[in-house]
Amino acid sequence: MIILKSPQEIDLMRRAGKITAAARALAGEMVRPGVTTQEINAEVERFIRKQGAVPSFLHYNGYPASVCISVNDEIIHGIPGKRVLREGDVVSVDVGAYIGGFHGDGAATFPCGTISPEAQKLIDVTRQSFFEGIRFAREGHRLQDISAAVQQYVEENGFSVVREYVGHGVGAKMHEPPEIPNYGRPGHGPRLLRGMTLAIEPMVNAGAAAITQLSDGWTVKTADGKWAAHYENTILITDGEPEILTAPAI
């Protein structure tokens, strides 16, 4: 069942979303050559707790860290550790904050120093595909109108969408119905209603869509070794334009 949020619950989700957005931005600022992924994880966790929130991901289904940090051909769920970031890497950061009974969820891919034009295009297309999708995140549209728009934009630019992992509803639980694929057919899926809060998250591969999972049980990589990018915001369906609850502070 898709849960519609009350005005009071939406206010609480805005609070969680702001903390999540700030945590994502902090992680992005730390992406530079010589920094370890664990250093980013530790600093972001400290920040989230300083805001009175807790990291949504820590111990979620056994996940051992507060932030997912995926580098180059890692798509999602990379576990922070001793890995040192290098010039030219692309670094995907996925983070959530839980406060007042509700979660925010957001992700972005950041360049480490100077990156190749091809890598920059991958980051840019992945981010823009989110905005292409949420053009249809309006009351009365169907869920897969969003999905189809993401897929069309990604594939028109020569990239592939990951099919095994999807966006999702978010609220009192990190993952709520509905599942939101990054591919689909317009006019299909549940009808969008005001009060829905959704995590829209394109996961895009530079090469083929096929994936592989590492033996750590979490890290998902591209099967062909080509790079990947990830972009995500928590949004609210309103009576007009969607509201991005994890929008960066201006």
pLDDT tens digits for the chain (250 residues)?
Answer: 999 999 999 999 999 999 999 999 999 999 999 999 999 999 999 999 999 999 999 999 999 999 999 999 999 999 999 999 999 999 999 999 999 999 999 999 999 999 999 999 999 999 999 999 999 999 999 999 999 999 999 999 999 999 999 999 999 999 999 999 999 999 999 999 999 999 999 999 999 999 999 999 999 999 999 999 999 999 999 999 999 999 986 4
Q: Which residues contact 77 (CB under 8 A, 6 or more apart)?
A: 63, 68, 70, 94, 218, 219, 220
Give a yes or no: residue 1 inside a domain: no
Is 226 inside a domain boundary?
yes
Strands 67-71 and 90-99: antiparallel
Range of the domain at 23: 7-244
Q: Say whether 234 sits in a helix, a strand or coil.
A: strand
Query: Residue 203 sits in a domain of what CATH number?
Result: 3.90.230.10
Instruction: Report if residue 151 sits inside a domain.
Output: yes
* Total structural domains within the chain: 1
Indicate whether 249 belongs to any domain.
Answer: no
40 lies in some domain: yes
The reply to whether the predicted model has a pTM over 0.85 is yes
* DSSP tag of 56: S
Sign of CA dihedral 110, 165, 94, 126: positive
Q: Residue 191: inside a domain, yes or no?
A: yes
User: Distance between CA atoms of 52 and 176, rounded to whole angstroms?
Assistant: 23
